[in-house]
Structure 1
Amino acid sequence: MALIPLLFGMRKHSVTATMVSSILLVLIVCSGFNGPLVSINSNLAIHLLLGAVGLWIAWLSMLRLETKDVS
């Protein structure tokens, strides 16, 4: 999940974009709808999806490193 804000920071070349996107991601994931009993944090599927998105972003970063940045 921590790699998702990295995508925004790499696209914009901005530390501010990275920090704002990470804060928004934490606010969305840790927010509670209708009190603390029902929240996105308690849903395992959301965490697995965000983890998969983070792995996909890491793979894209490595692919870009090997193709554009090295040559």
Structure 2
Amino acid sequence: MDAVEAGQSFTVTRDGHQIGELIPLKRRRRFVPRAEFAAMSQGAPDISLETFRADQDATAAQETDDPYAR
């Protein structure tokens, strides 16, 4: 398990036949430094806050269908 945690992968066999793989999970970074976020955001398109809010209001105003209503 230490080797898998360190990034190593293993093929699991039974009687010489491959039956699975033991691979490390991809870890997601939870924190992005401010400078990196600012650099990534520089290329983002401008958005209209009024249009964004109107889209949110339109979505929230929709009624959900009740699957049990007949």
* TM-score bucket (shorter structure): under 0.3
Greater RCO structure (CA 8 Å; 6+ sep): 1
TM normalised by structure 1 equals 0.26
Relative to its length, the structure with more helix (as a share) is 1
Structure number with greater Rg is: 2
